[in-house]
Amino acid sequence: MKNSLSILLGDSLTRELMNIFDLSLNKNNRFLHLGCSDGHLAFKVAKLVGAGGKVIGIESDPAVLRDVYGMMGDVADDLGYDNMYFYHGQNHDLRTDVYRQSTLFKRLKMESFSDFSAFTHRSVEYFNNNPVVVSHSIDVLFSSVDLGQLTHFQIIELFHEASRVLNDKGVLFMLTPSGSSMLEKNIEQYERILSSADFESINFFNQQFEQSNCCGTEQLKVIRAVRNTRKNSVSNVNSESCCSGSSCC
């Protein structure tokens, strides 16, 4: 089952979302798409933010990412610059590069549970200190991850991770299926979690999108929230970096 809503929708999604982003995205901005699927939206944003901007895509399906990697060169040639970076990651964790983690795991010989436990501990420690997306580095974060596919604790982690990576007054956009009674019950809960993660100006609104694979429309709820200004905080990202590792910026 796909847990990214963007793969279910066609060009209408990109057009409508670009309109929604219009007041929040500017030249030289840094944009993160969580659940980036085929990268179509990320490629459009790469043109909008220009050579001085950055676009990061995180996708949980490695097969989809292989197709994205195959298109990146042509897109960069068309743009005349390369400002795009894509990672195999988890839908609620903006720290871990799953590809690097799994590659290292395969190289090591695990002979006991204690070996596995030690590897897990070292891996968590490493990516906490060297996250894929560093703190206070993103201007606009868009998540098309289906919240209905995440556990309550994963949703909490996702909202707090979004807060960690966004700049002061950075904007979070999220898509989630609309119309279900369960969602309506969860809206108040989402708002509480976002508030506890230091978001303000939290808004929920419905948006119709055309489906790519059939006639008709899909109604999704768009969540928009703004990151509060941090008090007495010092950013740990310099003006040239938005993600860690030599494979990125």
Tens digits of residue pLDDT in 123-155: 778 888 888 899 999 999 999 888 878 888 999
Distance CA 185, CA 160 (A): 21
| CB distance 13 to 44 below 8 Å | no
112/42 Cα distance (integer angstroms): 42
Report how far apart the first and last C-alpha atoms of the chain are (Å, whole number).
Answer: 32
Using the 8-state DSSP alphabet, how is residue 69 labeled? H
Q: Which residue has the tokens 């997306």?
A: 133
**Residue pLDDT, tens place only, 77-133:** 999 999 999 999 988 889 988 888 787 776 777 677 687 677 777 877 888 888 889
Q: Which residue has the tokens 């929604």?
A: 20
Q: Please determine, for residue 215, whether its predicted confidence score (pLDDT) is greater than 60.
A: no
Q: What is the pTM of this model?
A: 0.82
CB 125 within 8 A of CB 234: no
